[in-house]
Each structure stands twice: as structure tokens, then as C-alpha cells.
């Protein structure tokens, strides 16, 4: 129940009103400080100026450095615990942790100061920036989907990275907040994009691609020709390597927005923010080995049942789907794979550790 509506219930006893207000206010989580991780000797050095400020050869701040691996994520209180685990896992498993720059996108209505203090307290040496996404620019484009969490404006932040991040940043690794890395992110960031691809991601061509779009889409001759000549396959947008320069030149944000506007008029897909990405990019993305997105560990979008790993090696574990490992661990109904997430949990609980 929203706070304002609670205050309107003047007939409630004061103690009950205070209880309801407290219950409606999310508790601020407390996190441990992570250890500092150091670069190996063969890492490229990011230059430091005479005043101690990190710079690159052009005189731009280090946030623009091509020597850095730029990682973009969303950041909010609901998924903060997951985001902290992503950061820790990325730093712990890379040979050049001091060369990673994080770019966090928050909602304009979020308490960005609190989020900044929380990140800085757990990772005092982390290089990061926070950017605000105006929810009003996204809300009018969102159509209801099969799960409420998928309709959050911040879930669409990946559409606007090229606009939000500084123009000097040419390539970024986008990561969801419900995953952990168990391999060096430098290898993922170095994925070749070829001559034309805007982004790289693991593809899953055995998935039923047609099911992501409605009969209205497939029965319309103009719309159904969208994928003609493209070997279009499903890919998960929770792990992507994006060439922001090519994105900007191709005006990809506008192309995605145009599909979302059409969706509002005639309902051509069902699943939140994924289908517009498929419409714009499927069939023209650079390949990434499946080990970099062992996804689906959160189960389906309705019940979040336990799932096992897909066959093959693992570099990244992704709890996409309804079930999140931190929630299942707290509720004592953890799935077997959730034990692989627990070592990266920085929350002040006995389960948190720094063991690999």
C-alpha cells in the first residue's frame, strides 16, 4: 500500500499506521567490504597525471580509456544484492581488475547517492559512474508482459546505453544483475564483432524463434518479411558485447523504439524488452560461445522451478527467469545451482564468503 494512501487512513490507530509505513518502506541492505584485487604485471596501465587524476593519452578522464574494460549494468535496490555479486565475481576472476570500469544506470527517481555510497563502501577502489534514466521516456512505450518484473522501466535501460554513456566509450559489455562470472571478463570483452555486427551474444538456434511473436505479427505480410534473408535465432540480452559507435551510427535506439511504438498499437509480441532486440539484431550478431551465458537457472517466468546447467563448459552463470538465488536462499528453498552463487553474496550473512 503506497505511503500517501496509508496517511489518508486517519481512523487507524497510530501504532498500526507506523507499522504499515515501516512495512511499506524497503530496508536498506548492509554489505561487507570486498577485498582489493590487483592487476597482474602484464595488464595495460591506465595513465595517471601529475595531479594524481587518472587520464588517457588524449587528456580525457580514465572513464574513456580504451585500455579499460567497460561494463554496463542497471542498479536499483530490488536487485542490489545481485549487482554486488556480479561486481565481486568480475573482479575476482579477471587478471586485470583495476582496468574494469563499471557504468551503472539507475532510475531518475532512485536514491543515486545511497546507491553510490553502498557501492563505494564495498568496493572502495572501484572505478565507476552512475547515470540516470528518465522513466517517463520509457513508460509510455512499455506493454504489459507475462511477468511484472519485465515491465520495469529500468529493464529497458539497455536500449539507451549509447545515449546515456559518454560518446568516448566505444565498446561495452552489458550484464544483467542476476549472474556471476567464473572466468576472465577480458576474454568476453575481446569478442570480435566482424565488419558489420553491432553486438555479440550467444545464440540459441534450437529455440522456437516464432513463439516470441504473436499470430498478428506472422499473419501480416509486411511484418513477417522482417526476418527475410536473416538467419534469425534467439539470443539472451542479459549478456552482450556492444559496439556503441556502430549503435549510434545506425540509430539503433530509434529502431527499437519504433518497434515498441508499433507494439502499443497492434500487439506483435509478448515478452517485454527482448523481442524489439530480436527484431533489430537477430540474424546479424557476432557469435559468443555458450559458456558465456549459462542462462535459465532462475527457471521459467511463471514458477521459477529449479534447472540444471546446460551441457558444456561454464564461464558465466545466469539466473534468468523468475527465481533469483538470493531470494531462494533466504527462504530456505534453494535450488542446487544456487550454491554456486552464494560465495559471491556480500550481504552481512554467514553465507557470504570470498572463496572461489
Secondary element (H or E) of residue 250: none
Sign of the C-alpha dihedral computed for residues 83, 301, 239 and 268 taken in this order = negative
In this predicted structure, what is the pLDDT of residue 49? 40
Write down how long the chain is.
Answer: 356
Q: Convert the pLDDT of each residue in 162-220 to its tens digit.
A: 999 999 999 999 999 999 999 999 999 999 999 999 999 999 998 889 999 999 999 99
Phi and psi at residue 74, to the nearest 5°: -90, 160
- Residue 5: which residues within 8 A CB-CB, separation 6 or more? none
3 state DSSP class of 101: strand
In this predicted structure, what is the pLDDT of residue 12? 42
pLDDT > 90 in the chain, percent: 69
Q: Convert the pLDDT of each residue in 19-67 to its tens digit.
A: 443 444 456 789 999 999 999 999 988 764 434 444 444 444 567 888 8
Q: Which residue has the higher pLDDT, 47 or 12?
A: 47
Answer yes or no: is pLDDT of 77 > 60: yes
Q: Convert the pLDDT of each residue in 259-282 to its tens digit.
A: 999 998 999 998 778 999 999 999
Rounded Cα distance, 302 and 323, in Å: 9
In this predicted structure, what is the pLDDT of residue 21? 37
In this predicted structure, what is the pLDDT of residue 86? 98
Rounded Cα distance, 81 and 87, in Å: 10
Per-chain mean pLDDT for the chain: 85
Answer yes or no: is pLDDT of 5 > 60: no
Residue with grid cell 532486440, as numbered in its chain: 277
Answer yes or no: is pLDDT of 225 > 60: yes
Give me the mean pLDDT over the 339-346 stretch: 97
In this predicted structure, what is the pLDDT of residue 349? 64
Q: Is 170 exposed, middle or buried (0-12, 13-18, 19+ CB in 10 A)?
A: middle
Answer yes or no: is pLDDT of 92 > 90: yes
What single DSSP character describes residue 148? G
pLDDT band at 309 (very low <50, low <70, confident <90, very high): confident
- Asked if 59 and 147 touch (Cβ cutoff 8 Å), the reply is no
Query: What is the set of domains in the chain, with CATH numbers?
Result: 69-344 (3.90.550.10)
In this predicted structure, what is the pLDDT of residue 19? 43
- Asked if 32 and 352 touch (Cβ cutoff 8 Å), the reply is yes
pLDDT band at 129 (very low <50, low <70, confident <90, very high): very high
Give me the mean pLDDT over the 69-76 stretch: 97
Amino acid at each position: 500500500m503506497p505511503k500517501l494512501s496509508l496517511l489518508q487512513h486517519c481512523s487507524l490507530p497510530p501504532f498500526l499506521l507506523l507499522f504499515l509505513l515501516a512495512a511499506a518502506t524497503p530496508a536498506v541492505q548492509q554489505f561487507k567490504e570486498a577485498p582489493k584485487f590487483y592487476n597482474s604485471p602484464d595488464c595495460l596501465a591506465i595513465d595517471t597525471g601529475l595531479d594524481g587524476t587518472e587520464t588517457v593519452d588524449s587528456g580525457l578522464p580514465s572513464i574513456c580509456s580504451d585500455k579499460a574494460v567497460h561494463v554496463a549494468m542497471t542498479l536499483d535496490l530490488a536487485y542490489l544484492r545481485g549487482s554486488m555479486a556480479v561486481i565481486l565475481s568480475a573482479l575476482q576472476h579477471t587478471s586485470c581488475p583495476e582496468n574494469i570500469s563499471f557504468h551503472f544506470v539507475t532510475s531518475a527517481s532512485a536514491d543515486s547517492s545511497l546507491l553510490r555510497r553502498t557501492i563505494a563502501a564495498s568496493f572502495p577502489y572501484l572505478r565507476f559512474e552512475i547515470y540516470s534514466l528518465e522513466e517517463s521516456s520509457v513508460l509510455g512505450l512499455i506493454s504489459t508482459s507475462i511477468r511484472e518484473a519485465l515491465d520495469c522501466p529500468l529493464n529497458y535501460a539497455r536500449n539507451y546505453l549509447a545515449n546515456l554513456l559518454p560518446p568516448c566509450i566505444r565498446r561495452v559489455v552489458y550484464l544483467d544483475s542476476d549472474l556471476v562470472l567464473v572466468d576472465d571478463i577480458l576474454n568476453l570483452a575481446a569478442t570480435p564483432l566482424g565488419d558489420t555486427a553491432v553486438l555479440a551474444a550467444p545464440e540459441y538456434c534450437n529455440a522456437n524463434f516464432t513463439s516470441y511473436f504473436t499470430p498478428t505479427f506472422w499473419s501480416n505480410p509486411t511484418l513477417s518479411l522482417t526476418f527475410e534473408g536473416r538467419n534469425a535465432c534467439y539470443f539472451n540480452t542479459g549478456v552482450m558485447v556492444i559496439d556503441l559507435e556502430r549503435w549510434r551510427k545506425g540509430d539503433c535506439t530509434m529502431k527499437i523504439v519504433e518497434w515498441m511504438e508499433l507494439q502499443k498499437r497492434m500487439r506483435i509480441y509478448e515478452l517485454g524488452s527482448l523481442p524489439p532486440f530480436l527484431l533489430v539484431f537477430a540474424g546479424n550478431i557476432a557469435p559468443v560461445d555458450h559458456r558465456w551465458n549459462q542462462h535459465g537457472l532462475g527457471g521459467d517466468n511463471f514458477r521459477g522451478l529449479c534447472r540444471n546447467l546446460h551441457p558444456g563448459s561454464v564461464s558465466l552463470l545466469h539466473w534468468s527467469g523468475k527465481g533469483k538465488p538470493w531470494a531462494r536462499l533466504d527462504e530456505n528453498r534453494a535450488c542446487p545451482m544456487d550454491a554456486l552463487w552464494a560465495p559471491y553474496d556480500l550481504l552481512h550473512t554467514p553465507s557470504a564468503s570470498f572463496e572461489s
